[in-house]
Amino acid sequence: MSIIDTVSAALKAERDVFPIGRSVCGNDILCAHRGGYAGKQLIVTAAIHARECYTAHVVLRQIAEFAGGGNDGVYFVPLVNPDGALFFESGDTQGSAVLERFKDRHRTWKANADGVDLNCNFDANWGTGEQNKRTVGASDYIGEYPLCAPESLALCRFTERVKPSMTVSYHCMGGELYWEFFQSGVRRVRDEKLADLIAKRIDVKKVDGDLHSAGGYKDFCVQTLGIPAVTIELIKAGEHPFGYEDFLPDILKNAHLPKFILDIL
């Protein structure tokens, strides 16, 4: 079963499920909400990069474990890049001329079906990252302009509507947590304290002072929305491509993280 089918099947059992948008190839980007709506809201995303699509299993486990109750709630988006995920798993190009052109690279692919790296496509110092590229490819292509990709646009607009208290994004690899994007003063103190607590909770390294990337979802949340946001890089060591089994320790460590974060916000 593909990761798209796995996510769809898991979310069928949820009462509050809806698409936040569609991918280049027309696949739904599904979201499930658990908990109340009147209190703090958290957005948790995974699989924005194709070859990291099994981070979706971490979010699916969180959905199953989050009991809800009270006013606080969580929006879970397990698979931001469904086209890329399917291409990574099987080489299925879904009619995309770009994916067909790069078919021999599907096991290292990070981008969407148009070759845009979604985590470089947000309007947060767009195009200024050290590894940013101006040409279509497996990774790091920033796109023609911010939010040109339907997936990043959908996630951006959805986040603006929800106005969450915080966001969490799952990637791999490195066993690290990133939290900075030029915030200062009270906001910086707040965000670093949260990052410290989260990193200790799930046994990853909090990375300070690394501001060489740009245009990411976390960057947009920090810069434009003024909220704390973290990018969590799962799997401490290894080499892509990773399989489901490689994520099992992280699935367990992160199973109750949404509740933990809501409690400390």
pLDDT (0 to 100) of residue 67: 84
Place of tokens 């474990």: 65
Q: Which two tokens stand for residue 126?
A: 């767009």
Position 175 scores a pLDDT of 98
- The pTM (predicted TM-score) of the whole model is 0.97
Phi, psi (deg, nearest 5) at residue 207? -95, 125
Mean pLDDT by 10 residues, the chain (265 residues): 96 95 98 96 98 98 90 98 98 97 97 98 94 94 98 98 98 97 97 98 94 92 98 97 96 98 97
- Which residues, including other chains, have CB under 8 Å from residue 190's CB and lie 6 or more apart? 228
**What are phi and psi for residue 136, nearest 5 degrees?**
-60, 140
Helix axes 56-65, 3-11, angle to 10 degrees: 10
> Rounded to an integer, what distance in angstroms lies between the CA atom of residue 108 and that of residue 210?
24
pLDDT at 183: 96
Distance, CA of 91 to CA of 122 (rounded, Å): 27
Residue carrying the six token digits 């704390």: 228
3 state SS of 209: coil
Residue 230: strand pairing partners: 168
Rounded CA gap, 255 and 207, in Å?
22
What does the alpha-carbon distance between residue 234 and residue 49 come to, in Å, rounded to a whole number? 13
- Find all residues with CB under 8 Å of 127, minimum gap 6, and list them: 142, 214, 215
Q: Which pLDDT score is estimated for 46?
A: 98
What does residue 142 show for φ and ψ, rounded to 5 degrees?
A: -80, -10
pLDDT of residue 248: 97
Residue with tokens 């979010």: 59
pLDDT value of position 236: 96
Contact between 49 and 119 (Cβ < 8 Å): yes
Q: What are phi and psi of 46, to 5 degrees?
A: -150, 170
User: What confidence score (pLDDT) does residue 210 get?
Assistant: 77
d(CA 189, CA 207): 15
pLDDT at 143: 98
- Neighbour tally for 103: CB within 10 Å: 13
Q: What single DSSP character describes residue 17?
A: E
Residues 6+ apart with CB under 8 A from 204: 175, 176, 177, 232, 233, 234, 236
* Backbone dihedral angles phi then psi of residue 37, each to the nearest 5 degrees: -115, -15
